[in-house]
Amino acid sequence: MELTGKIIVLEETQTVGTKGFQKRLFVVETIDEKFPQKVALEFTKDKCDVLDGFSVGQKVKVDFNIRGSEYNGRYFVSLQAWKIAAEGAAPAARPVRPCRRRPAAPRPSRCRW
């Protein structure tokens, strides 16, 4: 799924549990809707550092997955981000190679009139 908006909260990386699981929470407010929404998302494990290049107030586009789990009869949902990009940032351009085709040799006509 995809979400576009402005970062309004950017927390530090947290280590959770005895195995050292890491997560980093951030909140994006949608800006192109009649009723803006404040959506909490998180990066986990080695992706936490991705947020180091972003700041509060910056417009971003976030790609994320919805994760659900059950623990002791209680259900939990999290929005796990896997990609973030500054809104309006152009993707890196690929170098253009000139076309070096050889001129086509004339083909003999197949028509016999």
Tell me which of 41 and 93 has the higher pLDDT: 41
pLDDT greater than 70 at residue 106: no
| pLDDT the model gives residue 18 | 86
User: Lowest mean pLDDT: which of 19-28, 61-70, 87-96, 104-113?
Assistant: 87-96
d(CA 57, CA 111): 69
d(CA 35, CA 63): 21
Tell me how far CA of residue 75 lies from CA of 51, 53, 65, 72, 82, in angstroms: 28, 33, 17, 8, 22
Long-range contacts, stretch 46-54, CB < 8 angstroms, 24+ apart: 47/81, 47/82, 48/13, 48/22, 48/23, 48/24, 49/13, 50/84, 51/10, 51/24, 51/26, 51/84, 54/7, 54/10, 54/26, 54/84, 54/86
pLDDT tens track for 22-81? 999 999 999 888 999 999 999 999 899 999 999 999 999 999 999 999 999 999 999 999
| pLDDT the model gives residue 93 | 46
Query: What is the chain's Cα-based Rg?
Result: 24
Q: HSE on the CB side for 68, CA within 13 Å?
A: 3
What's the CATH code, domain 2-86? Answer: 2.40.50.140
Tell me which of 76 and 113 has the higher pLDDT: 76
This prediction has a pTM of 0.72
